[in-house]
Structure 1
Amino acid sequence: MGGRVPRLVRAVPVLVGVALGVALLPASPALAHNSLTGSNPANGAKVATAPAAVELRFLAKLDPGRTKITVTGPDNIPAAGGEPTFSGSRVRVPFAPGAAGLYIVDYQLPSSDGHPVKGEVRFTLTTGTAAAPPSVSPSASPTPSPTPTSAAPESPSATPVAAGTDDAGRGWLWAAAGGLVLLAALAAGLFLRRRRSTRP
């Protein structure tokens, strides 16, 4: 019994040393990754009033030169109003709200083991700038068809007639008729003369 106690007493310093060694070992890769601890607006939140800036908080200090933050709104429209500002483990991005809808904050930052840490924060803006209505071009008024102008009545194309043509034609007819009458009279006279000369 007395021999066992000294052995336990001797084992205590060994156990303490092992515990200290484990505590002083380098952090495992899982613990080496920086991670998001909070945001404003919070992930999944619905806000009626748009914040002036979106803030992300991380477990460890951020490297401004190797940290990327993007903010996009509905229809994938950029909603960052300026460059991000860093303060230790926090980063703030000016927020330029647009239409109401879902906004996504994407972040990418390095870690001590060289593997980049990526993630996103989503929140919904319930009020925002109303989407501009589609521009409707005024319908072109139908061009009035020109009123057909009535063509001026065509004056009958009168063939120019030489003066006195009608009278000349009629004079020719009268002359022919007179000639025929004269010939008939001569023929009648000759017929009577022959008839008289043939009588006994």
Structure 2
Amino acid sequence: MGGRVARLVRAVPVLVGVVLAVALSSASPAYAHNSLTGSNPANGARIATAPTTVELRFLAKLDPARTKITVTGPDNIPAAGGAPAFSGSRVSVPFTPGAAGLYIVEYRLPSSDGHPVKGEVRFTLTTGTAAVPPSPSATPSASATPTPTESSSPAPAASSADPVPTAGTDDAGRGWLWAAGGLALLAALVTGLFLRRRSTRP
């Protein structure tokens, strides 16, 4: 009886070691894969005010040389305003907002077992940046190409375009002369007839 108890006591440390080995071997794959634990903005968030940076938080420390972060906005336009900044298990990327819409933060990082870890965080910006007004030189103003009007280019007056001829006054003078000549000739004929009749009387 005592021998069996002694053998069981000696076997307990061996059993504990086997259990620990199995537990560690089963747990090692879980710890081998780094994973995302949180973000700012949060995944699926809808925000009206754009943040200055986008931050991702992971389970384990990140390798800056082998970690890739991209930020894109509507129409697949890049929205990262600079290079990522790493701090242990956190990484932040300067954010340059554009139009309102869906923004996607994609990440890709290595793991200790050689399998890359990748995923994405999505958030919606409900208020976009204001549109840049066009420069004054881009669109010519109406004053640059004026449209001719009656006031800006008046038609020449009839008096300047068609001067009144002075021949009318000459024709009127000549008419009076012809009339006076005709009257004088008529008077001479009447006088001649009158004198002729008187000379023929007995």
How would you bin the TM-score normalised by the shorter chain?
A: 0.5 to 0.7
1:16 matched residue in structure 2 = 16
Q: Deviations over 1:86-111 (max 9, x none)?
A: 01111000000111111000111111
1:115 matched residue in structure 2 = 115
Q: Deviations over 1:83-135 (max 9, x none)?
A: 1100111100000011111100011111112221110000011112245799x
TM-aligned CA deviation for residue 78 of structure 1: 0.7
Assess if the C-alpha contact under 8 Å between 1:100 and 1:130 holds in 2: no
TM-aligned CA deviation for residue 81 of structure 1: 0.8
Q: Deviations over 1:132-161 (max 9, x none)?
A: 799xx89xx9x99xxxxxxxxxxxxxxxxx
1:57-96 pair list within 5 angstroms? 57-96=57-96
Q: C-alpha distance in 2, partners of 1:120/1:57?
A: 12
Give the unaligned 5+ runs of structure 2: 149-202
Q: C-alpha distance in 1, partners of 2:133/2:75?
A: 15
2:176 matched residue in structure 1 = none
- Whether 1:49 and 2:49 are equivalent positions in the alignment is yes
Give the unaligned 5+ runs of structure 1: 145-200
TM-score normalized by structure 1? Answer: 0.60
Identity, in percent, stands at 86
Backbone CA RMSD of aligned residues: 3.2
TM-aligned CA deviation for residue 25 of structure 1: 4.0
The number of aligned residues is 142
Q: Secondary structure at the match of 1:43?
A: coil
1:1-200 pair list within 5 angstroms? 5-25=5-25, 28-130=28-130
Q: C-alpha distance in 2, partners of 1:65/1:108?
A: 11
TM-aligned CA deviation for residue 53 of structure 1: 0.1
Q: C-alpha distance in 1, partners of 2:26/2:88?
A: 23
Q: If each structure's helix is expressed as a fraction of its own residues, which one has the higher value? A: 2
Q: Secondary structure at the match of 2:127?
A: coil
Q: Secondary structure at the match of 1:10?
A: helix
Q: Which runs of 4+ in 1 moved over 2 A?
A: 1-11, 19-31, 130-134
Assess if the C-alpha contact under 8 Å between 1:46 and 1:126 holds in 2: yes
TM-aligned CA deviation for residue 26 of structure 1: 8.2
**Relative to 1, partners in 2 of residues 1:132 and 1:76: Cα closer, same or farther, differing over 3 Å?**
farther
Q: C-alpha distance in 2, partners of 1:133/1:45?
A: 30
